[in-house]
């Protein structure tokens, strides 16, 4: 008896605590909203009402319920197919729905029909799930009411790219976000963030996506998220690289053709689109916002690097789930209409970017805080006040729920380092893992069949830093300085020569150049070169040093110079090492990055 009373008290306490921590009570005031897009919501007694609509767009269905609903729609429509493109870490199928006429799931057939293809996915960050529920509604209305669109385009839809994160769902997953009631988790079952995995390609989910991009010819790719940060009136923000893009023709089409149509449609239906808004300082809007150049670890940066038109959608977390889903619905509809009307122009832009050959390529980016910003961004914001917090002991910000217009400095990133693009790269056969990843990215290469001697340029690390803590499960290596050396290397069978004269040449450079922030080297795939092997005994280095000094008066002068450094002079081990290092017995491969550059 006593026990059950204790249990009941504990249960009430849990309920009380859950209620008192309900996110709605701790979020800034909500801006009221009504829009014409509400007309897309089906009544609850409609036979094709989606699970989210049935809840009044306050809940999102779990993965099995999502897939069951989609399967019903697919079985009903001659234009839809469904196939698994792989398995998640926890062995869930990664479902892809295809929408096309005359209704086939085969990649070859889709390519033969000559129509441009849109790929969109939701739930790469599984708690940011708006795109899934908007996608269900959109696909339904497409096949039931608007299938003429499929005379002009093909559509590929992945409802949830991170189903393991999606099923790790609770009301405590995303505290900054106003619904749905339960949300999934950001990372996958291994706690890896899929939207940092586009170059290193470690997760089964992103690997499946990269295989899909190889198999199907995708002309436009949309990755749908929800963002927090500062408060503002805009409910849907989206972006692509606009400053110094790797794909300038594509960027021009996205800006001049697509954005124009999409923004008009969103305004017409009562939504507030804007470019991505990331504040320099979330506590001080006057410090400005950034025009972000995404590196290729992110979907949008990756798309820019491989000349795949890619848009990152970031709905605003403080808007209701309903408003966000409807905005995404309108966005998808406008994107499809634009692709149907102007898809051939987009294809021409892709072809131009794929055939453009540069001599140099920027491989890292940085904000130039020293310079005055050249641009400013006007946007529809929300007023805030600052107050002294007894909790943090510092000045904090409170968003007031009152609309306010802002015009703030708009900072862009500038290239921080440029590299000269070689004719080709060489990867030794001893790194089949790197060769496999490059193949997964769709990079073409020639495999060496018998040993081949090649004169190549190799980099030796001069200055580098290992990260103090792992990031995405890897210890990153920051490369600060490298030195180029000429080497004659004999490449064993299985090694590959990879020409940069190919459509994905820019991506290749970004994956292999040491100074590229998302190169395999910086992601920690070559840590073995940081270790020197083979050693020398003191009783061997002594006579060796005597011999070297006798044979080389210049060396003697250098040694005497080195002895000026008192610390060095007092370190017997360092003095012996000094000679070993200058002898031919020293490890020649120490700090030598084994990817060859052929000019």
At residue 128, φ and ψ (nearest 5 deg) are -95, 75
Cα radius of gyration (the chain): 28
Distance from C-alpha of 232 to C-alpha of 229, rounded to nearest angstrom: 10
At residue 281, φ and ψ (nearest 5 deg) are -145, 115
Residue 348, H or E segment = helix 321-355
Listed ranges 53-61, 122-130, 141-149, 157-165: which one lies at the site for Zn ion (CB under 5 A): 122-130
Closer Cβ to Zn ion, 120 or 459, answer by number: 120
166 binds Zn ion (CB under 5 A): no
Give min distance, CB of 108 to Zn ion, in A: 33
Closer Cβ to Zn ion, 227 or 242, answer by number: 227
Give min distance, CB of 314 to Zn ion, in A: 7
Distance from C-alpha of 461 to C-alpha of 482, rounded to nearest angstrom: 5
Sign of the CA dihedral with 420 first, then 422, 427, and 428 last: negative
Closer Cβ to Zn ion, 206 or 419, answer by number: 206
Secondary structure letter of residue 235 according to DSSP: S
Closer Cβ to Zn ion, 173 or 479, answer by number: 173
Listed ranges 121-129, 264-272, 472-480, 488-496: which one lies at the site for Zn ion (CB under 5 A): 121-129
Give min distance, CB of 226 to Zn ion, in A: 7
Listed ranges 110-118, 120-128, 380-388, 392-400: which one lies at the site for Zn ion (CB under 5 A): 120-128
Closer Cβ to Zn ion, 299 or 516, answer by number: 299
Give min distance, CB of 250 to Zn ion, in A: 22
The interface with Zn ion within residues 427-466 (CB under 5 A) comprises: none
Give the pairing of strands 395-420 and 496-499: unpaired
Residue 478: closest CA among 514, 530, 529: 514
Closer Cβ to Zn ion, 227 or 516, answer by number: 227
Closer Cβ to Zn ion, 232 or 269, answer by number: 232
Beta carbons within 8 Å of 19's beta carbon, 6+ residues apart: none
- Output b/e per residue, 2-28; b: 16+ Cβ within 10 A: eeeeeeeeeeeeeeeeeeeeebeeebb
Closer Cβ to Zn ion, 225 or 476, answer by number: 225
Contact 126, 160 (CB under 8 A): yes
Give min distance, CB of 227 to Zn ion, in A: 7
Give min distance, CB of 296 to Zn ion, in A: 17
Give min distance, CB of 122 to Zn ion, in A: 10
Listed ranges 44-52, 127-135, 420-428, 578-586: which one lies at the site for Zn ion (CB under 5 A): 127-135
Give the pairing of strands 220-227 and 310-316: parallel
Q: Choose, by CB under 5 A, the member of 92, 115, 121, 125 that binds Zn ion.
A: 125
From residue 362 to residue 381, the character string flagging contacts with Zn ion as x (rule: CB under 5 A) and all else as - is --------------------
From residue 194 to residue 233, the character string flagging contacts with Zn ion as x (rule: CB under 5 A) and all else as - is -------------------------------x--------
As a whole number of angstroms, the longest Cα–Cα distance in the chain is 97
Residue 415: closest CA among 500, 509, 289, 308: 509
Distance from C-alpha of 53 to C-alpha of 59, rounded to nearest angstrom: 8
**Residues in the site for Zn ion, rule: CB under 5 A?**
125, 128, 225
């Amino acid at each position: 008896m006593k026990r059950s009373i204790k249990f009941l008290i504990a249960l009430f306490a849990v309920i009380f605590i859950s209620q008192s921590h309900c996110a709605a009570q701790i979020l800034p005031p909500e801006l009221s909203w009504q829009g014409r897009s509400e007309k897309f919501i089906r009544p609850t007694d409609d036979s094709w009402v989606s699970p989210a609509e049935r809840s009044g767009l306050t809940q999102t269905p779990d993965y099995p319920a999502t897939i069951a609903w989609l399967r019903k729609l697919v079985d009903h429509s001659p234009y839809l197919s469904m196939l698994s493109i792989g398995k998640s870490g926890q062995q869930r199928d990664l479902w892809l729905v295809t929408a096309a006429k005359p209704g086939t799931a085969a990649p070859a057939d889709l390519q033969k029909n000559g129509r441009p293809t849109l790929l969109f996915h939701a739930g790469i960050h599984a708690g940011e799930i708006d795109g899934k529920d908007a996608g269900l509604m959109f696909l339904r209305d497409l096949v039931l009411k608007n299938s003429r669109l499929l005379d002009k385009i093909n559509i590929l839809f992945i409802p949830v790219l991170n189903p393991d994160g999606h099923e790790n769902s609770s009301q405590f997953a995303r505290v900054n976000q106003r619904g749905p009631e339960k949300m999934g988790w950001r990372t996958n079952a291994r706690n890896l963030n899929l939207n940092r995995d586009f170059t290193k390609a470690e997760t089964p989910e992103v690997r499946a996506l990269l295989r899909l991009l190889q198999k199907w010819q995708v002309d436009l790719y949309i990755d749908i998220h929800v963002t927090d940060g500062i408060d503002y009136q805009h409910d849907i923000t989206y972006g692509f690289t606009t400053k110094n893009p790797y794909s300038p023709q594509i960027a021009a089409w996205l800006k001049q053709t697509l954005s124009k149509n999409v923004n008009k449609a969103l305004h017409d239906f009562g939504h507030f689109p804007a470019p991505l808004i990331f504040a320099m300082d979330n506590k001080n809007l006057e410090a400005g916002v950034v025009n972000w150049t995404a590196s290729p670890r992110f979907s949008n940066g990756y798309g820019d690097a491989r000349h795949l038109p890619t848009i990152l959608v970031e709905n605003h977390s403080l808007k209701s789930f309903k408003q966000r889903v409807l905005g995404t619905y309108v966005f998808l509809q406008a994107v499809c209409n634009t692709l149907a009307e102007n898809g051939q122009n987009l294809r021409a832009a892709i072809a131009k970017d794929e055939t453009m050959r540069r001599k140099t390529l920027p491989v890292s980016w940085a904000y130039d805080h020293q310079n005055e910003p050249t641009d400013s961004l006007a946007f529809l914001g929300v007023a805030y006040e600052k107050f002294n917090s007894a909790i943090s002991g510092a000045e904090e910000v409170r968003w007031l729920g009152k609309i306010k217009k802002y015009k703030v400095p708009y900072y862009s990133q500038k290239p921080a380092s440029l590299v000269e693009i070689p004719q080709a790269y060489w990867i030794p056969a001893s790194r089949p893992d790197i060769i496999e990843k490059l193949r997964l990215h769709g990079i073409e290469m020639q495999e060496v069949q018998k040993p081949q001697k090649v004169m190549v340029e190799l980099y030796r690390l001069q200055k580098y830093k290992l990260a103090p803590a792992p990031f995405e499960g890897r210890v990153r290596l920051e490369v600060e300085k490298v030195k180029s050396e000429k080497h004659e290397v004999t490449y064993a069978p299985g090694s590959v020569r990879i020409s940069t004269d190919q459509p994905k040449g820019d991506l290749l450079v970004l994956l292999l150049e040491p100074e590229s922030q998302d190169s395999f080297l910086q992601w920690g795939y070559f840590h073995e070169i940081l270790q020197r092997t083979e050693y020398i005994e003191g009783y061997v280095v002594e006579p060796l040093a005597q011999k070297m000094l006798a044979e080389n008066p210049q060396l003697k002068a250098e040694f005497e110079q080195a002895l000026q450094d008192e610390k060095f002079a007092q370190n017997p081990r360092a003095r012996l090492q000094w000679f070993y290092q200058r002898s031919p017995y020293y490890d020649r491969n120490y700090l030598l990055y084994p990817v060859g550059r052929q000019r």
